[in-house]
């Protein structure tokens, strides 16, 4: 039987305590916009999954995880 887990939440802050639920088709990396775009609320990476540990990352973030040994 497949293991079920709670979905991750992104962009939680005092004005949005629930944040946004994880989109299971996208990379799980939490990213931050640049300061010019109001860089204080994180969000889920918009790229498709399929790389890295358990296929949960996009190519870019899988490569970063591999390089940093995380």
Q: What is the pLDDT along the chain (70 residues), one digit of tens a residue?
A: 455 678 888 888 777 788 889 999 999 999 988 766 666 788 999 999 999 989 999 999 999 988 887 5
21-26 long-range Cβ contacts below 8 angstroms, 24+ apart? 24/49, 25/49, 26/58
1-8 long-range Cβ contacts below 8 angstroms, 24+ apart? 8/44
pLDDT at 57: 95
pLDDT at 46: 95
pLDDT at 1: 46
């Amino acid at each position: 039987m497949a293991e079920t887990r709670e979905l991750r939440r992104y962009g939680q802050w005092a004005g949005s305590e629930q944040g946004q639920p994880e989109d299971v088709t996208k990379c799980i990396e939490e990213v931050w916009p640049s300061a010019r775009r109001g860089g204080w609320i994180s969000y889920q990476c918009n790229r498709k999954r399929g790389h890295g540990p358990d296929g949960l990352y996009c190519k870019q973030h899988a490569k970063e995880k591999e390089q940093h040994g995380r």
